[in-house]
Amino acid sequence: MAKKSSSESEARKECKFYVNASVKDFKNSILWHMERSLARATVRATSRDWWLATAMAVRDEIMGRFISTMSRQYKANSKRVYYLSLEYLMGRLTEDTLTNSGLMDVAREALKELGLDFDSIMASEVDMGLGNGGLGRLAACFQDSLATLDYPAVGYGILYEFGLFTQSFEGGRQIESPDNWLKFGSPWDIVRPEYTVKVGIGGRVEGVMSSTGDWSVRWIPEGELLGVPWDVPVVGYGAGTVNFLRLWESRATNELDLNAFNNGGYTQAVHQKAMSETISKVLYPNDKTENGKILRLMQQYFFVTCSLQDIIRRFKSLNGENWDIFADKVAIQLNDTHPAIAVPELMRLLVDVEGLGWDKSWEICTHVFAYTNHTLLPEALEKWSVPFFEKLLPRHLQIIYEINARWLSYVESIYGRDSDKIARLSIIEEGAPKMVRMAYLSVVGSHSVNGVAELHSQLLKESVLRDFYQISPEKFNNKTNGITPRRWLKTANEGLSDLITKTLKSDSWPKNLDELKGLEKFAEDSDFQKKYMEIKRENKAHLAKIVKDLCGVDLNPDAIFDVQIKRLHEYKRQHLNLLYILTLYRRLLHNPDADISPRAFIFGAKAAPGYDLAKNIIWAINTVGNVINNDARIKGKLKVAFIPNYNVSLAMDIIPAADVSEQISTAGKEASGTGNMKLALNGAITMGTLDGANVEILEEVGKDNVFIFGMNVDEVQKLKAEGYNPWNVYNSNENLKSALDWLVSDYFMPGNPTAFEPLRKSVLDWGDQFMVCADYQSYCDAQDRLGEVYKDKARWAKMAILNTARMSKFSSDRTISEYADDIWNLEKLPPRE
Ligand code: GLG
């Protein structure tokens, strides 16, 4: 954001470990890197050069902290948590590192003295977009909190060469192109060749007799590849702790190449090399569905075995073979089912490689692993086919069968030979082919199973994991998600951050978000309201410029900025939002002088490349938007902007500018949501269903400061059970009927009226799985109410302020403290003062 922070000197008192550097030294460091690292004369330097030189200058400042954190953790031989996640949506790293190390003001000033604009220089950094959506961004917020709270932690993942695709629009339709973010390298990645590990695939299993006459089993893989680790430093707020992400890159082994060469197979050698390197090539762009793709499963196995081997190496270097204390030193969190193969892999490493017995190994596993579930959507519950295992991971299949046999005999000891129960609880699903239920494997192999919001955790116990809950209720717990206030308030919204600091006369709130409660008493203070809303307006003007630039749409900063930013998915119901837009547009055409609060509907969303209906919805919003934006009759009262390529960096511009936060999923479908928290923290009022963390946001802010509409979970279930027919709603609701019919008329798409037939069909002919029609009227009523309330400026300001003041529960520091205390049993290891 464009504003300058004046509060860093205050913060220095709070953050004893802030990095100290003078503007002069920092400037010299930038110039030094420009010459020595980049071989550039300043007169020729591009924005990217300046960003790189600045990033390198910051990096220099934090490296000492990085090394001292590692040696502190090593010396203390303390327990660490290892976070296994296939996704990390980090965004840009430089600005966040500046905030957290306390160098933001210094860097701004240094660049200013060099005659440069800080914001445009920082914009040269390409987002590290190694994630799809909420799950990956949560993993990133968690890393920030772990370091900020001085917890010893490592985040393990994959260094994808291509992150989530870049989105653009052509004729309103989504076009994808590769996100080659690493094309020119990244100053934040540090390679660690000495920790390279080998990864086997395929082959067979052999029994071997030891010298003592014991039989053991050995996996003889057919092929091998290498995992090379790259570390990305994660600076905690205040810079007392610098943890790291360790991301694995797949490479071919030399042996493999040599063999092929010796056989005269040059092309084959190159082919195999390319195949090995394919594994870490690209992030799968689907959110919630990626079942059965072999390459995806190989990615999962690849990063899991690399990480577990690394964990065991570290453990042994400190504790030798003292396996009794493994679980006292190691906690592993499985971020969703993606890393579920870790359970049989750790068993294999302990039993086959380290030579421990089954029972002891199993005890270790179930003490070390904990599993987080992020969704109830059935398509997201991963299953791997047994033939796949036979071919690629034959030893793992044996281990899974053994785990299952023991598990089912335990089940039988409770329920007797109840074949129904056994089939329901089995890790193996019968059928052709047989499938391994990875979520069940995670539950059986873990000591803790958590959902990500109260409602979601409750539904987990009642639905998909009900049978497991009945057997081991003590495993189940809730950890409501959170967001880091450093990135999502302090860095993203400097204007509001400064106001908060001045008003509270404290700058420790980014580390202690409860302090925001102190703003409550200013909620009705007209002077404070004025300042608060002025900042909102500045942020809106800033966003309006970006929208003009990216979409060519003029937004009026005095309109309501109504924002829906998240992946495009039917359950998130962007099309419900569209139906309201159509309804409002129609109303204005009938009466152009209608006294409505002008609205700017702002969307940001990527659709999975193969998800046709999601793409149809994007196309429809863009097409309708285009007609509305160019219709002079409605006098600019309505605008629609779909910002292309929504990502973390754009989120940091959009969120501080939002008045309204659309959280309108079908109740029971959104596990938690985290955008809802970021938006409310920045003073956007939630327009939401009683779903995910919206329920807890309502609890925190109070019913007067949020707009709730639609069916709750029980009502959704009841209506489904009774037999829901969207046509009945359609036939009895004139507005809904008009909106849906209008969409497939010539009006929006002259000559191609069937363009949006799929969208219309999905909510009528195809049964309206996500109950868009059922919630339509209630949504429109709530939106109309909101429009009325907005006219009362003082009331709106009060609501917005109270949202900021009451969001402290949703700091990821709170979430991480709960994980550390309840699941990991993890101690902080702060630096000595
Ligand atoms: C999921 C859910 C979100 C949740 C996020 C983080 O759909 O509701 O907020 O994880 O727990 N796959 C996701 O994005």
State mean pLDDT over 192-203. Answer: 96
Alpha-carbon span 97 to 103, nearest angstrom: 8
Alpha-carbon span 409 to 124, nearest angstrom: 58
User: Is residue 118 included in any domain, yes or no?
Assistant: no
Copy the structure tokens of residue 460.
């987990």
Are 641 and 772 in a shared domain?
Answer: yes
Q: Output the pTM of the full model.
A: 0.97
Cβ(675) to ligand 1 under 6 A? no
Closest ligand 1 atom to Cα of 692: 8
Q: What is the ipTM of this complex?
A: 0.98
Taking only the tens place, the pLDDT of each residue in 695-747 is 999 999 999 999 999 999 999 999 999 999 999 999 999 999 999 999 999 99
Q: Which amino acid is at 352?
A: D
Using left for φ > 0, alpha for ψ between -120 and 50, and beta otherwise, residue 523 falls in: alpha
Are 621 and 769 in a shared domain?
Answer: yes
Alpha-carbon span 226 to 252, nearest angstrom: 6
User: Is residue 203 included in any domain, yes or no?
Assistant: yes
pLDDT at 18 over 90: no
Q: Which residues are catalytic?
A: 374, 566-567, 572, 674, 678
Alpha-carbon span 745 to 582, nearest angstrom: 13
Cα of 563 from ligand 1 centre, angstroms: 18
Cβ(455) to ligand 1 under 6 A? no
Of 479, 514, 549, which residue constitutes the final position of a domain? 479
Instruction: Indicate the top mutation candidate among 286, 374, 606 to test ligand 1's pocket, ranked by most ligand atoms within 8 A of CB.
Output: 374
Cβ(374) to ligand 1 under 6 A? yes
Are 574 and 675 in a shared domain?
Answer: yes
Q: Which amino acid is at 198?
A: K
Are 458 and 564 in a shared domain?
Answer: no
Are 463 and 582 in a shared domain?
Answer: no
Are 655 and 555 in a shared domain?
Answer: yes
Closest ligand 1 atom to Cα of 671: 8
Residue closest to 107 by CA, chosen among 147, 51, 67: 51
User: Is residue 635 included in any domain, yes or no?
Assistant: yes
Q: Is 757 in a helix, a strand, or coil?
A: helix
- For 455, the domain range is 77-92+127-479
Are 577 and 470 in a shared domain?
Answer: no
Cβ(673) to ligand 1 under 6 A? yes
Strand 685-688, strand 707-708: pairing: parallel
Average pLDDT score, the chain:
95
Taking only the tens place, the pLDDT of each residue in 83-126 is 999 999 999 999 999 999 999 999 999 999 999 999 999 999 99
Of 479, 498, 525, which residue constitutes the final position of a domain? 479
User: Is residue 616 included in any domain, yes or no?
Assistant: yes
CATH of the domain at 393: 3.40.50.2000
Are 561 and 709 in a shared domain?
Answer: yes
Q: What is the pLDDT of residue 267?
A: 73
32's CB contacts (< 8 A; 6+ apart) are 57
Q: Which amino acid is at 20?
A: N
User: Is residue 825 included in any domain, yes or no?
Assistant: no
C-alpha separations of 657 from 109, 274, 654, 782, 791 in Å: 25, 45, 5, 21, 18
Q: Which residue's CA lies nearest to atom 14 of ligand 1?
A: 134
Copy the structure tokens of residue 627.
């007609």
pLDDT at 640 over 90: yes
Question: Would you call 47 exposed, middle or buried from its count of C-beta atoms within 10 A (0-12, 13-18, 19+)?
Answer: middle
Taking only the tens place, the pLDDT of each residue in 243-262 is 999 999 999 986 655 666 66
Are 475 and 543 in a shared domain?
Answer: no
| Domains: count for the chain | 2
Are 442 and 568 in a shared domain?
Answer: no
**pLDDT category of residue 3 using cuts at 50, 70 and 90:** very low
Residue closest to 184 by CA, chosen among 108, 253, 126: 126
Taking only the tens place, the pLDDT of each residue in 471-521 is 999 999 999 999 999 999 999 999 999 999 999 999 999 999 999 999 999
C-alpha separations of 832 from 17, 145, 383, 827 in Å: 10, 19, 47, 15
Of 461, 479, 497, which residue constitutes the final position of a domain? 479
Alpha-carbon span 103 to 15, nearest angstrom: 12
User: Is residue 553 included in any domain, yes or no?
Assistant: yes
Are 666 and 741 in a shared domain?
Answer: yes
Residue closest to 547 by CA, chosen among 657, 393, 461, 408: 657
User: Is residue 607 included in any domain, yes or no?
Assistant: yes
pLDDT at 13 over 70: no
Q: What is the pLDDT of residue 823?
A: 98
Taking only the tens place, the pLDDT of each residue in 273-324 is 777 889 999 999 998 877 778 899 999 999 999 999 999 999 999 999 999 9
Alpha-carbon span 538 to 643, nearest angstrom: 19
Are 672 and 798 in a shared domain?
Answer: yes
Residue closest to 694 by CA, chosen among 395, 530, 453: 453
Q: What is the pLDDT of residue 255?
A: 60
Using left for φ > 0, alpha for ψ between -120 and 50, and beta otherwise, residue 783 falls in: alpha
User: Is residue 790 included in any domain, yes or no?
Assistant: yes
